[in-house]
Amino acid sequence: MLKVHNTLSRSKEEFKPLKGKAVGMYICGPTVQGPPHIGHARTYVAFDFIRRYLEWKGFKVKYVMNITDVHDDIISKSNELGIDWKELAEKNTKLFFKELDGLHVKKADSYPSVSGHIKEIIELVKKLEEKGIAYETDDGVYYNISKFPEYGKLSGIKIDKSKTGTRVETDKYDKENAQDFALWKKAREGEPSWDSPWGKGRPGWHIECSAMGGKHLGEQFDVHGGAVDLVFPHHENEIAQSEGASGKKPFVKYWLHSGFLNVEGEKMSKSLGNYIEVPELLEKYNPKVFRFFVAGLHYRSRIDFSEKAMEEAKAGLERFNRLIEALQEANGKDSGEMKKLVEKAKTGFEKAMDNDFDLPSAWAKLYDFVRDVNKLIAENKVGNKDSEIALKFMKELDKIFEVFSFEQKSGTLTEEEENLLEEREKARQEKDWAKADELRDKLAEKGIELTDSAEGTKWKKTE
């Protein structure tokens, strides 16, 4: 039975989607003011594993990630650069998709953007206003948190509503009214704006996810995630907005929050000079090594990126890839023991993952598997059948992680060897088996072993 840690209840709960096997999952996407950084990479890779594990278990996941393309940070950055906000946002959205692809993150089913959902956002704000939960001021429309008695239930933050003017630490855009937050901001000079019942303006930050989550997954859905910094105020405010408007509880059944990524023990920041963007990461490291690094740690723990950690991840991943190679080359005698080893590893793996995606324990089971299989191979107890059973299992795991390499390493051929191979291919096509065999022997003398299959001939250097 799968259990997930729900930030809302602060405990692990049995995972039971609202509608059978269908899972609606919404992950807060990036503010596209610049290229994605490795903190984004950690968050989106961690949720990629969670999504793929749910799919591995037979859930049908509808995965939605918003793109925040209207935001104070984008506006100020574009002013700084002297370009249009939209141009900046579009450029960085493209780059974000490219980098996620580079990180082998599976595509979302949709990537709604703020600028594409102004109508839905206005509708939601209007609804809150009609219900008396939101009010208009000179500079915008605000959410009145005293109208939502459960405010604070996600983050556990207590707000003393008896004192007016009590300052709570909210995001930097909610300046005017300490405890209430902006749903709509009236237009200011040099900022993008849209027509609305309150004159020209643009959305506040939090409202976008309530509007887009509602539109793409419904008023109530299963999983909402993001990194832990979003619990307050962003997700707290999403609950207030969505439940306030729909009157339906809960807006989201399971709130999942992943840990932050630090660099060499420090918070990543441009001023500290430890700010790493994904393009730079992928220039230096294989994306699969980064994925393996993230996969080895619990999604809820803070992780520390360093060269050493990446070296360790590389070495760990190599153990698995070496096992794959050894299995591909295994030519012992099948002992039939592999099936049991796979079953044991799979059961242990699934049990660990079912416990709130406990990746470190899950990988521990897989390391045991590597050790056991290596031993079998060393004892010459693995032939074609057993190696296939093991490889099938590793491929199944790779549907979740996408970290392993299954391409057979085979070195390079000299021109003469290439020609011999081509000649043999021709002979085979002409069904001249005697000649094909002769050429096979010739290549074998040169240390090249051939395997013929329906997909063609594979070769391998044995020396």
Q: Which residues of the chain form contacts with ligand AMP (CB under 6 A)?
A: 28, 30-31, 39-40, 42-43, 68, 226-227, 229-230, 260-261, 268
- CA dihedral of 247, 248, 249, 250, whole degrees rounded to 10: -120
Total of chain residues touching Zn ion, rule CB under 5 A: 2
**Cα dist from 409 to 321, 358, 461, whole Å:** 11, 32, 9
State which of positions 191-250 bind Zn ion (CB under 5 A): 209
Is the CB of residue 345 less than 8 Å from the CB of residue 365?
Answer: yes
Could you tell which of Zn ion, ligand AMP, none binds residue 209, using a CB distance below 5 to 8 A set by kind? Zn ion
Could you tell which of ligand AMP, Zn ion, none binds residue 30, using a CB distance below 5 to 8 A set by kind? ligand AMP
If the CB atoms of residues 261 and 391 are measured against ligand AMP, the closer one turns out to be: 261
If the CB atoms of residues 171 and 350 are measured against ligand AMP, the closer one turns out to be: 171
Rounded CA gap, 139 and 371, in Å?
A: 65
- Enumerate residues 6+ apart whose C-beta is below 8 A from 289: 310, 313, 314, 317
Rounded CA gap, 321 and 333, in Å?
A: 22
Q: Whole-number minimum distance, CB 299 to ligand AMP, in Å?
A: 11
Q: Whole-number minimum distance, CB 133 to Zn ion, in Å?
A: 19
If the CB atoms of residues 42 and 215 are measured against ligand AMP, the closer one turns out to be: 42
If the CB atoms of residues 145 and 231 are measured against ligand AMP, the closer one turns out to be: 231
| Phi, then psi, of 383 in degrees rounded to 5 | -110, -160
| Phi, then psi, of 62 in degrees rounded to 5 | -105, 115
Rounded CA gap, 239 and 252, in Å?
A: 8
By CB under 5 A, is residue 28 in contact with Zn ion?
A: yes
Could you tell which of Zn ion, ligand AMP, none binds residue 227, using a CB distance below 5 to 8 A set by kind? ligand AMP
Catalogue the E-assigned strands of 42-200: 60-65, 134-136, 140-143, 181-186
If the CB atoms of residues 107 and 161 are measured against ligand AMP, the closer one turns out to be: 107
Q: Whole-number minimum distance, CB 261 to ligand AMP, in Å?
A: 4
State which of positions 380-409 bind Zn ion (CB under 5 A): none
What totals of helices (H) and strands (E) does the chain contain, helices first? 14, 15
If the CB atoms of residues 46 and 376 are measured against ligand AMP, the closer one turns out to be: 46
Q: Whole-number minimum distance, CB 206 to Zn ion, in Å?
A: 7
DSSP notation for 57-82: TT-EEEEEE-BB-S-HHHHHHHHHHT
Single out the segment in contact with Zn ion by CB under 5 A; choices: 24-32, 296-304, 348-356, 444-452. Answer: 24-32
The whole-angstrom distance between residue 300's C-alpha and the CA centroid of its chain comes to 13
Could you tell which of ligand AMP, Zn ion, none binds residue 187, using a CB distance below 5 to 8 A set by kind? none
Could you tell which of Zn ion, ligand AMP, none binds residue 260, using a CB distance below 5 to 8 A set by kind? ligand AMP
Q: Using CB under 5 A, list all residues that contact Zn ion.
A: 28, 209
